[in-house]
Amino acid sequence: MSLYDQQYLAIVQNILDHGYYDQNRTGIATYKLPHQTMQFDLQQELPILTTKKVAFRTAVREILWIYQKQSNDVKELQKQKVHIWDEWMMEDGTIGTAYGWVIKQFHQVDKLLEQLKNNPQDRRMMVNLWQIPYLETGALAPCCFLSMWDVTDGRLNCMLVQRSGDMGLGVPFNTTQYAVLTHLIAQATGYRPGLLTHVINNAHIYENQVEALKLQLTRKEQAYPAPKLWINPEIHDFYEFTMKDIKLIDYQYHDKIHMEVAV
């Protein structure tokens, strides 16, 4: 069994068994638990679920759109047949002053790359999408809003902090995305990938996802080993990676499980 299936399904089971039930802004009630944490050594495995299919290429396209392209243009994703932001697209075709826009506005990735190359023991290496003056003009307040970076013994470690975690749909994407992002930034700055620690302040299951997640839990004993991640070893500029340079090897998975997104 992959370590991600093990840790993720343990949180899902804990929420179903002990979660606090209440309403929220979406109008679809949730079961939730605070302060859930998962941790992975990225040299040992890539965290991606095998108890259901995760759309790996879609997940990577989104994280590159945010961190590499630093874009807020939903149409750019739609051209790649990625429609996960369609529900939040504003009249101008963007998500406003959110995600990639905030990164570009403050040159956050450029600063992180410079710190990692020239001052790797800096304790202020982070990318923060929670920029208060721009929250109201964004289509959605960022869920994965903070990543903090550390270099220890030649390994690049990332702590991802997520204020709100939709366990059914969002979290499986988010963990895998930031694992890939850590690999890419590590290769671009000359480090080996290290730890990915994923902290979720509000880990929740929408009540219309309960039966789907119960189905996924029945697959726990039939989970597959984690696949391998291949990144083109010739690329050492973060801004030059393309989808052709990022591949999964030997990804085995159970069937996709359909769930509704809460907007």
| Helices and strands (H, E) in the chain, number of each type | 7, 8
Structural tokens at position 230: 């291949």
Q: What is the pLDDT confidence band of residue 1, given thresholds at 50, 70 and 90?
A: confident
Residue 17 CB burial class (10 angstroms; 0-12, 13-18, ≥19): exposed
8 A C-beta contact, residue 126 and residue 148: yes
Sheet with 20-22, side-by-side order of all strands:
20-22, 30-41, 192-206, 155-166, 144-152, 126-128
Residue 75: Cβ-neighbour burial (10 angstroms; 0-12, 13-18, 19+): exposed
| Residue where the block lists tokens 């970076």 | 149
Q: State the catalytic residue, choosing from 143, 200, 223, 259.
A: 143
**Is 158 one of the catalytic residues?**
no
Over residues 76-95, the pLDDT tens digits come to 999 999 999 999 999 999 99
For 23-27, 153-157, 215-219, which range has the lowest pLDDT when averaged over its residues?
23-27
Residues 66-79: tens digit of each pLDDT: 999 999 999 999 99
Residue 21 is classified by DSSP as E
CA–CA distance, 213 with 13 (Å, rounded to integer): 9
Domains for the chain: give ranges and CATH numbers: 3-249 (3.30.572.10)
116-126: average pLDDT: 98
121 to each of 114, 129, 167, 230, 237, how far by Cα in Å? 12, 22, 33, 28, 21
> What span, in angstroms and rounded, lies between the C-alpha atoms of 170 and 203?
10
Q: According to the 3-state scheme, what is the secondary structure of 144-184?
A: EEEEEEEEECCEEEEEEEEEEEECCCHHHHHHHHHHHHHHH
Residue with tokens 């366990």: 167
Q: Which of 5, 39, 93 is nearest to 85 (CA)?
A: 93
- Per the confidence metrics, is the pTM higher than 0.95? yes
- pLDDT at 118 exceeding the cut of 80: yes
Mean pLDDT of the chain: 97
Report the Cα 15 to chain-centroid distance in Å.
20
| pLDDT band at residue 263 under the 50/70/90 scheme | confident
